[in-house]
A and B are shown apart, each in its own frame.
Chain A
Amino acid sequence: MIYDIQIKTDQRTLVDIEDFELNPGKLTLLLGESGIGKTLISRAIFGLLPDAEMSITINKRSYAEYLASDECHEIQSRGFFVFQEPSSHLNPLMTLSEQLNEGVIEDASSNRKILKDLFPALSESDLYHLLGIYPKPYRPSGGEKQRILIAMAFKKMALLRGSDAVFIFDEPTGNLDNVYRNIFLRMLIAAYKSVPLTTLLITHDYSMISELLATPSGAMKQIEFKELRISDNHQKQVAFSTESYLNWLKSLNPASPSIQSSREPVLMLQPEIEVFNRKLIISSDIKGRDVSPLEIFAGDAVYLKAASGVGKTTVAKIIMGLQPAERFSMILDNRTHDESTPGSVWRRNIWAKRMSMVFQHADEALNLNGKVKDIFRGLPLSQRSDPDFLKRTLATVFDRHIAATFLEMPVAFLSGGQKQRLNLIRALILEPDILILDEPFNGLDFNTMQRILNLLQELQKKGKSFLIISHNEEIIDRFVSSERIYYLHRQTDIKGET
């Protein structure tokens, strides 16, 4: 199945692709930076886009014609779509259990095994309790909701033995940590091996590649790796070379494999932090036995790991003086900063001079109402308004010549990956002594990740240091030497809250 898709709004073209291929009976892993149209294309094929708000054509047919076609009906009735934001899928007026057994998937006989696999940490009674709640107001976690949707998809897959149908998983692991992500992938491969349904798995998590490549060779032949790229407002689907990704991964080495222990750290964060009535502990081992201060040396790259929701970003904000803590202490430039240090100290002495931070969501970290050039206005740089300087700077993270028109482009019109690049370059351009990178590879494609890592290593050679928070363990584990990895744990509830 080859699709020629155009999606436009009043203001601009969102998608223009002539040869989007969805091979029947194949599992296609579609990679690519965020915001370039992966979701829109898949929703258009599934017939889920609002026709009134956009001008859409599929294979030269109007969207209304496509929606009325047998092809679209077939896809909708036999297939399944797992949304990247599970809240938008679940009905707040029905319990999770009711929704899991609704419509054609009403047969609950397959629930037990699927749910047990997807929720290995929950006992039968916990699972029963979880399924009995409503999505609102009880608010199951994003990960729980996402796994419920995945369970629905697997139930429908099990129903369609021997038949052809289209299953689309749009960033199905966005709310899952690596453990649950790998469980999902193993289940998907197992389901796919029993019935090779047409499956499109959309992601920008490149570390899925290694996990998929580890599957038995029989299934591997049916897996296709594709990448969606954008150039001059036209999307193109190209084959993705897993080999070049893995070779690059192997070649990735820490820029500073050993730290000179005689040197004083630039920053030392004491291992016990109290915030939101909870105590967080930093250790140098995964189990939390070797409690030790987090030290950052000049030219260092430090990786702070923790399970989702423990408080990595909170710790980063505490270090940056953005989040008040009940108790913490850090030494920066031989001066102690703690919970009693006034915020003006950060404003005067630290921000942009000694430390800066890149926030994880570029959409929230940038002002979407401005133009690209506006991102640099206000920075403490003398050349902030010089277009040539801006173009040169942007060229370090954009793999193309930067035209003057790009500087005038509204930030809101950029893809998620482009926004993330702006988010990164705004902090990198300042070259602070320590830069905290919170999920720096969010939404970036493979090429950009390479560029960013090269850039970071160049800065490391200049003595600049990084504290990295990322769920992209496969890559960061190789970028940072093993002794520079710290783990964050939530030790106890100080007031007994859960």
Chain B
Amino acid sequence: MKSYQITESIEKAVRDFIVCRDWLWFTIWLLGILIIWIWNLIFLNAPALRQIENGFINTIVIAIMVIVFAAGLSWGTTLLDDFLHRRFARLQIGLTFLINLIRSVPQIVGTLLGYVLLTILMQNRIVTSEAAILISMALVIAFFLFLEIFDLLRERITHFRRLDFYDAMLVCGISEQYIINREIILRSSPMHIINKLIGIFGAAIFLLCSVDFIISVGLSTQISPVDLPVTLGSLLAKIDSKQDILAIGHALTHWNYFPNLPFEHLQGITVAILIVFTLLCIYQIANGYGRRHHL
């Protein structure tokens, strides 16, 4: 590579970094998390810090699992839908009805219902380990989010079916499964799918935090949020955090109280900032990614 090509490549990378802003916001997010963690490391007591660390990691792990499950569910449903469309059109109506049934349930209500099911499973000691609970929570959320990717995949397949390239491949003996999986989904839609998955990641964190906050009132007489792995949502629902959040309101009317917030009300404020800051960054990353790939 010649020197001017290297310079051009660096210039392009820097320009993209600033203009597209996806990597910029990812960097901002990482730096922000790092700064918050260092601040907490210095000023927050160790047990509370450990809880925040666990809550943050659990939330991110669940959101990542939601992405994986949602991608798998949507891919499987797309293939099934396409298969029924080609071979058994009547059965496709049934599948469409089921899909629309899921669609008709508000995501937050659906997730709450999923938690009820999870509670029953926990009560009956079918789901016991923390890993199994985490996976179950991710599955529940993914079940009410996967339709977003399913709709995208179906839209992409419909779009490409209208083009000559689909027919041109068919008449060359290339199977429809190959065309859909390799040519449309893997080769022609990864940017669209990744963009949607970034959105799903954000939606998963939002849903998880919202539901965990809501269920802080309790799930059943035997099972309470304490039995579930700690997340940012459940941390926010703790009485300490609630008081910390109330302190922000107090500071708004008593400005001289502001300096106390990052020292005396660190747990609640950290959790709130982590949630809001993460969602803001994900929103910006998704937008930047769309801009980079002209979606």
* CB neighbors of A among B149-177 (8 A): 163-165, 167-175
Q: Are B172 and A351 in contact (CB under 8 A)?
A: yes
Could you say which of A359, A369, A380, A427 contacts B167, with CB atoms under 8 Å apart?
A: A359
Interface centre among A351, A355, A423 (most CB of B within 10 A): A351
Q: Mark B175-204, 1 if CB is under 8 A from A, else 0.
A: 100110011000110000000000000000
Q: Are B171 and A378 in contact (CB under 8 A)?
A: no
Contacts of B174 in A (CB 8 A): 378-380
Q: Are A367 and B183 in contact (CB under 8 A)?
A: yes
Give CA–CA (A198, B91) in the complex, Å: 66
Contacts of B188 in A (CB 8 A): 367, 369
Q: Are B173 and A430 in contact (CB under 8 A)?
A: yes
Contacts of B172 in A (CB 8 A): 351-352, 356, 379, 426-427, 430
Give CA–CA (A380, B170) in the complex, Å: 11
Contacts of A10 in B (CB 8 A): 12
Give CA–CA (A10, B16) in the complex, Å: 11
Contacts of A366 in B (CB 8 A): 165, 168
Q: Are B165 and A322 in contact (CB under 8 A)?
A: no
Give CA–CA (A347, B187) in the complex, Å: 23
Q: Are B164 and A364 in contact (CB under 8 A)?
A: yes
Q: Are B167 and A317 in contact (CB under 8 A)?
A: yes
Give CA–CA (A94, B170) in the complex, Å: 43
Q: Are B187 and A374 in contact (CB under 8 A)?
A: yes
Known contacts A351-B173, A378-B178, A378-B182, A359 near B168 by CB under 8 Å: yes
Give CA–CA (A426, B175) in the complex, Å: 15
Contacts of B168 in A (CB 8 A): 357-359, 364-366, 423, 426
Contacts of A181 in B (CB 8 A): none
Q: Are A355 and B187 in contact (CB under 8 A)?
A: no
Overall SS of chain B's interface: helix
Contacts of B170 in A (CB 8 A): 322, 347, 351
How far in angstroms is the closest Cβ of chain A from B205? Answer: 31
Contacts of A352 in B (CB 8 A): 171-173
Give CA–CA (A377, B167) in the complex, Å: 16
Asked whether any CB of chain B lies closer than 8 Å to the CB of A361, the reply is yes
Give CA–CA (A351, B171) in the complex, Å: 5
Give CA–CA (A322, B176) in the complex, Å: 14
Could you say which of A320, A370, A377 contacts B171, with CB atoms under 8 Å apart?
A: A320
Per the CB 8 Å criterion, the residue count for chain A at the interface is: 29
Q: Are B12 and A365 in contact (CB under 8 A)?
A: no
Give CA–CA (A400, B200) in the complex, Å: 48
Known contacts A10-B12, A369-B188, A378-B178, A355 near B183 by CB under 8 Å: no
How far in angstroms is the closest Cβ of chain B from A381? Answer: 9
Q: Are A369 and B173 in contact (CB under 8 A)?
A: no
Give CA–CA (A357, B178) in the complex, Å: 19
Could you say which of B164, B167, B178, B187 contacts A370, with CB atoms under 8 Å apart?
A: B187
Contacts of B183 in A (CB 8 A): 367, 370, 378
Contacts of B182 in A (CB 8 A): 377-378
Give CA–CA (A317, B167) in the complex, Å: 9
Contacts of B169 in A (CB 8 A): 367, 378
Give CA–CA (A370, B183) in the complex, Å: 8
Contacts of A320 in B (CB 8 A): 167, 171
Q: Are B173 and A380 in contact (CB under 8 A)?
A: yes
Could you say which of B12, B164, B173, B178 contacts A359, with CB atoms under 8 Å apart?
A: B164
* CB neighbors of B among A410-430 (8 A): 423, 426-427, 430
Task: Return the chain A residue nearest B178 by Cβ.
Answer: A378
Asked whether any CB of chain B lies closer than 8 Å to the CB of A353, the reply is yes
Task: Return the chain A residue nearest B87 by Cβ.
Answer: A344
Contacts of A374 in B (CB 8 A): 187
Q: Are A367 and B167 in contact (CB under 8 A)?
A: no
How far in angstroms is the closest Cβ of chain A from B184? Answer: 8
How far in angstroms is the closest Cβ of chain A from B166? Answer: 9
Known contacts A370-B187, A378-B178, A365 near B164 by CB under 8 Å: yes
Contacts of B167 in A (CB 8 A): 317, 320, 322, 357, 359
Contacts of A322 in B (CB 8 A): 167, 170-171
Give CA–CA (A380, B172) in the complex, Å: 8
Q: Measuring CB to CB, which residues of chain A are less than 8 angstroms from any residue of chain B? A: 10, 317, 320, 322, 347, 351-353, 355-359, 361, 364-367, 369-370, 374, 377-380, 423, 426-427, 430
List 20 interface pairs A-B (beta carbons < 8 Å), by A numbering: A320-B171, A322-B170, A351-B173, A352-B171, A353-B173, A356-B171, A357-B167, A357-B168, A359-B167, A364-B164, A365-B165, A365-B168, A369-B187, A369-B188, A370-B183, A370-B187, A377-B178, A378-B174, A378-B179, A423-B168
16 additional contacts (CB under 8 A) given A356-B171, A426-B172: A320-B167, A322-B170, A322-B171, A347-B170, A351-B171, A351-B173, A359-B164, A359-B167, A359-B168, A365-B164, A378-B175, A378-B183, A379-B172, A379-B173, A426-B168, A430-B173
Query: Nearest 8 pairs between A and B by C-beta?
Result: A352-B173, A365-B168, A378-B174, A364-B164, A380-B173, A378-B178, A359-B164, A369-B188
